[in-house]
Structure 1
């Protein structure tokens, strides 16, 4: 069983979750993250948890992931939540020091920033200083060597040169912020040293360095970190509103660079590790001023901003799920590694009609439709499963786990290249599908969003396209007349006995920080069928700290309604 929830509070608030009941035995795990499953892990819960445990995020978005097998009828949990003003940082060593999971091996290349930051925090806050003094030094040296190594790789690959000629001013801004952080790093690593509890020597140089780091003008760490964050996730004042990664990605794809993903990985690793080093320098500088309250705020900011950026970066490295299957081909082409094919459906003067727009590869007329397909014909077995949701894909071999097969009949025609399972003749064409309806279309699933791609709409409750994390979706329809045969689980179809009217959903990468969510909530009548996977907590000017407005439950009796999963 796999369940996911996303809870969003108003900007400026964080989420406080309270355990009312938690009993999973040894067969279940609930993980709570900031923003997404690649952000800061706030807490991991399993077994039996005492009621009244309170968990507070560092961000206004929480992502809950529940995995289990072999649960009993008495197992389940009940967690209430509310939006609150950010409290004083409370460290949770168990959740913070664990390694983050990876996307295609990319995020594993990042330093374990939470471990580094809490090592610094323990030393400067006086926790286990003697034991961790050497650990701090060793950790910082490893980070320093890693940053230097990645920087050399950037120079070898010529990553920044790819877009510098097109975005000269923005590239200079990135370089200036990078240089400021590197100058502070250089002084720290070559001219200063740490003594007990994070104090720096020699004193005069440490004081001068501290003033530079804490400066609130363009030379200080605050502005440098703001610039770096805006470069990563995008800002209206940087790269025309797109992020550094999006700009680099678009240019690499334009020139068809065969090493584009490796270059994206390199610049992602570098910007993240550079910011990690900047945050620990910032915290150490505040230690020199004995301003631990402000150091606490910087610590919270680091966890928040770095988690936000990791979640944004992860979208560039999502892989296509396991199995063999197909997708309608977009006009921009097929995903890397997919094989191409095409159907040509032939009818009469009024056999086909369509909406205002169509972005698929092929051609349309009232008597003929040429429609391209992209087919994934091999599976390594190391890819992840398709996420729960409400959508369809083409069948090629066995349907991936979680899908059910179906078949539609169309007018006759021809085929070229690799196409889905089925049959083609001059009289009729049969196309086989794999569909699922075990989740909410309104809950974003994680799939690659480059290049643009299609899914087929399945949702028959609301007639919505499946949302995809980090992507903007638009809907298109195409009606085929002359054969209305259907069998099994098929795409959403508004046709009749002699036609099919199918809806295709085309996905393109959206602008940074776009959140697609549902504001539906469980009613007071105990009906859990409408409990959303994404809940938005509304702000309220009437109360300073909103009361809990809902709860998350995943017990055996509610599995079908809440988790959309079968035991």
Structure 2
């Protein structure tokens, strides 16, 4: 009996030791490099730069759409105001490269933050008459005047069904690329879409390169993936 008890204790000690030495499968830091994410109502990670862009959408018979009960931080109605969170590698270090998968982030700077991403862009032809576009703070790479042009980094070098490792302490958004929403280990995901009613007259909306899924035509319609615990 004493021998059985000793063996049982040794087994339990081995299991506890294994649990202690196996590292967590969830990242504590965001990947290295500089990049931007769309701000959720959970806020930006500590120390990240923030900014916002107000887009003056079509005035006549405005058909702006945003998923009911969405989780974006901003102001959404006949015009759209999105907020952004930017990680600056000069002040906030990361420890890993972005994992393989199928998703997009917003570009910050002249290039994407790691190997595996390909860059692309989306151009919004905003309202022409009495255009009220405004902005403030740090925004994704692009051009912001009477119209809106944003650069992205997208990748499709892994399966969306295999959960990638990213920080789980705070909710965040990625964007769909060529598949369904990318799975993230330890998080639930909910798809949320946004369609902007862009300029009707002589509409010049366009896309280039590797950009998030956009099937809006004369109106841009993007699909965001909201991650939460």
TM over 0.5: yes
Larger radius of gyration: 1
Q: Are the aligned partners of 1:410 and 1:481 in contact in 2 as well (CA < 8 Å)?
A: no
Is 1:488 matched up with 2:200? no
Alignment equivalent of 2:89, drawn from 361, 366, 378? 378
Q: Stretches of 4+ moved more than 3 A in 1?
A: 303-308, 379-382
Within 2, Cα distance between the matches of 1:360 and 1:396? 20
Partner of 1:290: helix, strand, or coil?
Answer: helix
Counterparts of 1:224-239 in structure 2, within 5 Å, are none
In structure 1, the residue matched to 2:178 is 459
In structure 2, the residue matched to 1:339 is 49
In structure 1, the residue matched to 2:139 is 419
* Deviations, residues 78-107 of structure 1 (Å, cap 9, x unaligned): xxxxxxxxxxxxxxxxxxxxxxxxxxxxxx
Q: Are the aligned partners of 2:31 and 2:94 in contact in 1 as well (CA < 8 Å)?
A: no
Within 2, Cα distance between the matches of 1:295 and 1:446? 34
* Deviations, residues 213-236 of structure 1 (Å, cap 9, x unaligned): xxxxxxxxxxxxxxxxxxxxxxxx
Counterparts of 1:305-324 in structure 2, within 5 Å, are 305-306=19-20, 310-311=23-24, 315=26, 318-324=28-34
Once the 2 structures are TM-superposed, how far is the Cα of residue 499 of structure 1 from its aligned partner? 2.1
Cα RMSD of the aligned pairs, angstroms, is 2.2
Once the 2 structures are TM-superposed, how far is the Cα of residue 295 of structure 1 from its aligned partner? 4.3
Q: Are the aligned partners of 2:33 and 2:94 in contact in 1 as well (CA < 8 Å)?
A: no
- In the superposition, the TM-score normalised over structure 2's length comes to 0.83
Q: Which runs of 5+ in 2 are unaligned?
A: 127-132, 199-203
Partner of 2:15: helix, strand, or coil?
Answer: helix
Is 1:390 matched up with 2:102? yes
Once the 2 structures are TM-superposed, how far is the Cα of residue 356 of structure 1 from its aligned partner? 1.7
* Deviations, residues 335-361 of structure 1 (Å, cap 9, x unaligned): 112111111111224242122221111
In structure 1, the residue matched to 2:117 is 403
Within 2, Cα distance between the matches of 1:475 and 1:356? 11
Q: Which runs of 5+ in 1 are unaligned?
A: 1-285, 510-567
Within 1, Cα distance between the matches of 2:188 and 2:18? 25
Counterparts of 1:88-487 in structure 2, within 5 Å, are 289-291=2-4, 293-295=7-9, 297-299=11-13, 301-303=15-17, 305-306=19-20, 310-311=23-24, 315=26, 318-347=28-57, 348=59, 349-365=61-77, 367-379=78-90, 383-397=95-109, 398-401=111-114, 402-412=116-126, 413-426=133-146, 428-460=147-179, 464-482=180-198, 483-487=204-208
Once the 2 structures are TM-superposed, how far is the Cα of residue 502 of structure 1 from its aligned partner? 0.6
Within 2, Cα distance between the matches of 1:340 and 1:434? 19
Within 1, Cα distance between the matches of 2:93 and 2:49? 18
Q: Counting helix residues as a fraction of each chain, which structure ranks higher?
A: 1
Q: Counting strand residues as a fraction of each chain, which structure ranks higher?
A: 2
Change (3 A) 1:351 1:321: same
Partner of 2:3: helix, strand, or coil?
Answer: coil
Alignment equivalent of 2:225, drawn from 505, 508, 531? 505
- In the superposition, the TM-score normalised over structure 1's length comes to 0.35
Within 2, Cα distance between the matches of 1:321 and 1:453? 14
Partner of 1:298: helix, strand, or coil?
Answer: helix
Partner of 2:211: helix, strand, or coil?
Answer: coil
Within 2, Cα distance between the matches of 1:393 and 1:421? 11
Partner of 1:327: helix, strand, or coil?
Answer: strand
In structure 2, the residue matched to 1:155 is none
Q: Are the aligned partners of 1:441 and 1:459 in contact in 2 as well (CA < 8 Å)?
A: no
* Deviations, residues 159-212 of structure 1 (Å, cap 9, x unaligned): xxxxxxxxxxxxxxxxxxxxxxxxxxxxxxxxxxxxxxxxxxxxxxxxxxxxxx
Once the 2 structures are TM-superposed, how far is the Cα of residue 306 of structure 1 from its aligned partner? 4.1
Change (3 A) 1:489 1:363: same
Change (3 A) 1:451 1:294: closer
Within 1, Cα distance between the matches of 2:76 and 2:84? 15
Within 1, Cα distance between the matches of 2:182 and 2:89? 25
Q: Are the aligned partners of 1:484 and 1:499 in contact in 2 as well (CA < 8 Å)?
A: yes
Once the 2 structures are TM-superposed, how far is the Cα of residue 418 of structure 1 from its aligned partner? 0.6
Change (3 A) 1:430 1:324: same
